[in-house]
């Protein structure tokens, strides 16, 4: 029996939670009394419920994100029935919620009906203080602790990398962070204008060295803008280059407008398949970008992407957002085509092992973000349920946004995953416009299959061959 159980529902089994490990590592003398239980979205509900009931915690803390919000409510409802009687009656623990989702939700949100306490913002310090207080018999009267903007001094955080198991290191993505916060003011992001704090570099690299020696192979950095501090970024990348024979892949999220020559030189040195770069382009419409405070000159960003495609072995992932205020289908399609031409128009690497991806996302009105200030002027309407996607704007009808969502799904299936390389390349030649043609094909595929998921690949391939022949 653990006094404290930390749990969350991860998107997939291969995505372990660094957040839970940090909370445990920073509990001080209570760390030994804390157990971590991780589940996956597709895991049966009964397995989640049984795992928590078997642990019999006195305090159950759940980390909530936009992607597991609904699943967490489902879990809490099922647990509540068990604690109320059910087939296996047991004592209800104290329920504490935390994580990025609940840090900004209004107090009346449904999920809070199942919580005794909610810790908002970064919680390494406040969760430790809360647990010590509770186990000393001092329960506070306030349900909500801290606020969404609460941050901690990263110099005081106890590292948690030792809590990755050997199985984690060999079979899962290893999430790490060398910095927190973001200095930019993108209005759709919860992290905008948050103070950037850097973990002490040399101790961090020692932790990475230990993970690699233990067998860690796939590292994904959580830093929002890894190339903000170029000197620091270069030092970390050099560290991994020196150990690249032991590491399969390292993944960084970078801003596309900050690529000085010395950073480019380091990126050139990574062997094929070992470096993944995620770049948030978001929009190629200068007026739209200015409206929602997305920095970066479009031409400069496209030059960066062209450099990465032509002169490096990096796997490049570029993000675009549909549904931003004032951007219509024509503008979005033109931007998509510009991005596609740059990303695909490199003959020697086009479609070679999916060395690039264009991730088409739909605008979300995340709780606490200032994107809501455009609602009236631009006719923005959003779903009230996670992931809070835009339903319509005065520039994009609800029907048009549904078409874009379907486009995005088939784009992921056919181009990003690239199951039929030769066939796909013949239908969508690299370096040519693609948006209108792919929109037409994605509409026809939806009409034929009646869905855009769970489609047999052989059937999908047959339909693509028909399009090619027509």
431: alpha, beta or left? (left if phi > 0; alpha if psi -120 to 50) = left
Token code pair at residue 43: 């895991």
- Identify the CA nearest to 441 among candidates 420, 422, 419, 465: 465
CATH architecture of 155-376: Alpha-Beta Horseshoe (3.80)
Per-residue pLDDT of the chain in tens (470 residues, 90 and over written 9): 579 999 999 999 999 999 999 999 999 999 999 999 999 999 999 999 999 999 999 999 999 999 999 999 999 999 999 998 754 545 899 999 999 999 999 999 999 999 999 999 999 999 999 999 999 988 877 999 988 788 999 999 999 999 999 999 999 999 999 999 999 999 999 876 578 999 999 999 999 999 999 999 999 999 999 999 999 999 999 999 999 999 999 999 999 999 999 999 999 999 999 999 999 999 999 999 999 999 999 999 999 999 999 999 999 999 999 999 999 999 999 999 999 999 998 765 443 434 899 999 999 999 989 999 999 999 999 999 999 999 999 999 999 999 999 999 999 999 999 899 889 889 998 889 999 999 999 999 999 999 999 999 999 999 999 988 87
Show me where the domains of the chain are located.
4-154, 155-376
Query: Phi first, then psi: what are they for 435, rounded to 5°?
Result: -60, -55
Please report, to the nearest 10 degrees, the dihedral formed by the alpha carbons of residues 19, 24, 25, 31 taken in order.
Answer: 180
242: alpha, beta or left? (left if phi > 0; alpha if psi -120 to 50) = alpha
Domain 4-154: give its CATH code: 3.40.50.280
Distance CA 110, CA 119 (A): 16
Token code pair at residue 70: 């609904």
Token code pair at residue 168: 């984690």
Q: How far does CA 103 lie from the centroid of its chain?
A: 17
């Amino acid at each position: 029996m653990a006094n404290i159980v930390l749990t969350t529902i991860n998107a997939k089994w291969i995505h372990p939670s660094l957040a839970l490990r940090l909370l445990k590592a920073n509990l001080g003398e209570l760390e030994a009394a804390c157990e971590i239980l991780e589940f996956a979205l597709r895991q049966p509900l009964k397995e989640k419920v049984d795992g928590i009931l078997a642990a019999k915690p006195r305090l159950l803390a759940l980390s909530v994100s936009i992607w597991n919000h609904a699943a967490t409510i489902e879990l809490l409802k099922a647990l509540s029935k068990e604690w109320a009687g059910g087939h296996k009656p047991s004592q209800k623990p104290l329920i504490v919620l935390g994580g990025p989702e609940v840090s900004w939700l209004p107090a009346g949100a449904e999920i809070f009906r199942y919580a005794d306490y909610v810790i908002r913002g970064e919680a390494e310090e406040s969760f430790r203080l809360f647990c010590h207080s509770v186990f000393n018999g001092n329960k506070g009267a306030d349900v909500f602790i801290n606020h969404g903007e609460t941050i901690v001094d990263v110099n005081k955080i106890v590292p948690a990398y030792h809590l990755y198991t050997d199985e984690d290191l060999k079979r899962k993505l290893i999430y790490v962070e060398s910095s927190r916060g973001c200095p930019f003011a993108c209005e759709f992001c919860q992290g905008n204008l948050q103070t950037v704090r850097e973990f002490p570099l040399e101790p961090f690299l020692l932790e990475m060295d230990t993970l690699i020696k233990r067998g860690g192979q796939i590292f994904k950095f959580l830093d929002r803008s890894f190339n903000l501090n170029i000197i620091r970024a270069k030092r970390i990348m050099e560290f991994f280059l020196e150990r690249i024979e032991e590491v399969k892949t390292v993944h960084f999220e970078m801003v596309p407008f900050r690529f000085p020559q010395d950073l480019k030189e380091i990126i050139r040195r990574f062997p094929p398949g070992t470096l993944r770069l995620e770049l948030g382009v978001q929009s190629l419409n200068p007026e739209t970008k200015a409206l929602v405070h997305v920095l970066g000159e479009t031409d400069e960003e496209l030059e960066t992407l062209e450099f990465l495609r032509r002169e490096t072995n990096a796997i490049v992932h570029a993000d675009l957002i549909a549904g931003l205020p004032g951007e219509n289908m024509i503008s979005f399609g033109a931007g998509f085509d510009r991005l596609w031409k740059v990303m695909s128009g490199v003959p020697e690497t086009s479609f070679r092992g999916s060395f690039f991806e264009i991730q088409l996302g739909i605008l979300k009105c995340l709780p606490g973000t200032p994107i809501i200030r455009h609602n009236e002027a631009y006719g923005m309407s959003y779903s009230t349920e996670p992931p809070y996607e835009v339903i319509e704007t005065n520039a994009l009808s609800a029907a048009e946004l549904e078409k874009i969502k379907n486009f995005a799904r088939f784009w992921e299936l056919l181009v990003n995953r690239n199951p039929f390389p030769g066939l796909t390349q013949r239908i969508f030649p690299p370096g040519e416009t693609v948006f209108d043609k792919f929109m037409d094909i994605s509409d026809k595929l939806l009409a034929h299959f009646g869905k855009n998921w769970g489609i047999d690949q052989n059937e999908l391939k047959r339909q693509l061959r028909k399009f090619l022949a027509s």
